[in-house]
Amino acid sequence: MNSKDNRQRALKGYVSSSLMGLKQSYILVTFVLLGLFAAYCIVNVILALCGAMSNSSGGALLVGFGVAAIFAVVTVLMMSAGKGKRAAFIFPIDRKTFAIGSFIMFILNSAFILLLSAVFYLGEVIVYKILGLIFDNIMYINNVTFESYITGFWVSLFYILFVAAITFFLSILFSRFKFPAVIIVSLAIGLPFIFPFGREAYYKFLMFFIGEQSLVLICLKLLICSMLLQFISYLPLKKMEVIE
């Protein structure tokens, strides 16, 4: 068996064990999303039955994205900070396996939560459609089209991936260089705010992502930046691995 096969097996093993390790978290998030979805539907149904003229809903997609982003950040911190990282570096997991495995984990985590939100949203649509059929005076208007539903899923996934990559990068940096890294990063983030050109640079940086109107370009930008951050995070990992 050559080293490539070994690495593949190690990667597979690392991703599988990480996914199994997060089983409880997945169950928790599923229940949180289910609870939010149920509460949202119940509130809207009560409001509608009480005669409120209009109720804006569609919360499953909005809330789902928020929950997925938070979950991604928490998972990344758990995986990359202190104990989680030390537990990961057990033979045959080396830094390359850890970096690639983490990236695969980010994608799977985010996709899972977003898929759950997407399923709950369809549940929401079914509930409102049924309400519209039962009650003559209720009209259901759905502004979320099939196109926006599918494209939104991918854009959301890339955004969460990007957020996860930033968190991973900072987490690795802080755990590798400790206090000096905290000071340098804080100064690098805080100092530009004092100067007008710094504020403008921040604005331009933000607009580079949130100002983009093309779906393809925004996905490409987010994906490239995420991969770049993942690669930069890989460099400080060099002296952290246990070589056996």
Partner 1 sequence: MKRLIIAILVLVVVMTAAAAVLLPKSYTGSEFYTKTVSIDKTKDVVLNFEGYSVFVKESDTNSVKVKTKVMVNEDEAKTLDCTIAGNSISVNNSNSKSKNIVLYSTWPWLPLMQIKKYQPAFFTDIDANEYDFVVEVPKGTAVNVTGTKIKVDGCTVAYVKGTSAEIEDGILTRDFNEDVGALTVRDCNVPRNIVFKQKYGEIRDNKIID
Output 158 or 168, the one with its CB closest to partner 1: 158
Closest approach, Cβ 208 to partner 1, in A, equals: 12
Residues whose CB falls within 8 Å of the CB of residue 129, separated by 6 or more in sequence, listed in order: 140
Q: Minimum distance between the CB of residue 66 and partner 1, rounded to whole angstroms?
A: 7
d(CA 14, CA 96): 12
Amino acid in the structure at residue 8: Q
Q: Measured at the alpha carbon of residue 41, what is the angle toward residues 51 and 31, in degrees to the nearest 5?
A: 160
DSSP state letter for 151? H
**225/1 Cα distance (integer angstroms):** 35
Closer residue to partner 1 in complex, CB, 129/199: 129
By beta-carbon proximity to partner 1, the closer residue of 183 and 207 is 207
Residues shown for the chain: 244
Residue 99 or 138: which CB sits closer to partner 1? Answer: 138
Least Å distance between CB 35 and partner 1?
Answer: 18
φ/ψ (deg, to 5) at 217: -65, -40
Spatial distance between the Cα atoms of 49 and 57, rounded to a whole number of angstroms? 15
Site of interaction with partner 1 (CB under 8 A): 12, 15-16, 19, 44, 48, 51-59, 61-62, 65-66, 111-112, 115, 118-119, 122, 124-126, 128-129, 131-132, 135-153, 155-156, 159, 210-213, 215, 218
Q: How far is the CB of 234 from partner 1 (least distance, A)?
A: 23
Using the minimum distance from each CB to partner 1, give the nearer residue, 26 or 177. Answer: 26
Task: Give min distance, CB of 178 to partner 1, in A.
Answer: 34
Q: Which residue in 128, 130, 102 sits closest to 240, CA to CA?
A: 102
The nearer residue to partner 1, 147 or 244, going by C-beta atoms, is: 147
User: What are the contacts of 142-148 at 24+ separation with CB within 8 A?
Assistant: 142/58, 143/58, 144/58, 144/61
Return the number of the residue (50 or 194) whose C-beta is nearest partner 1: 50
- Say how many CA atoms lie within 13 Å of 61 toward its Cβ: 20
Least distance (Å) from partner 1 to the CB of residue 195?
A: 27
- CB 137 → partner 1: shortest distance, Å? 5
- Write phi, then psi, for 129 (nearest 5 degrees): -65, -40
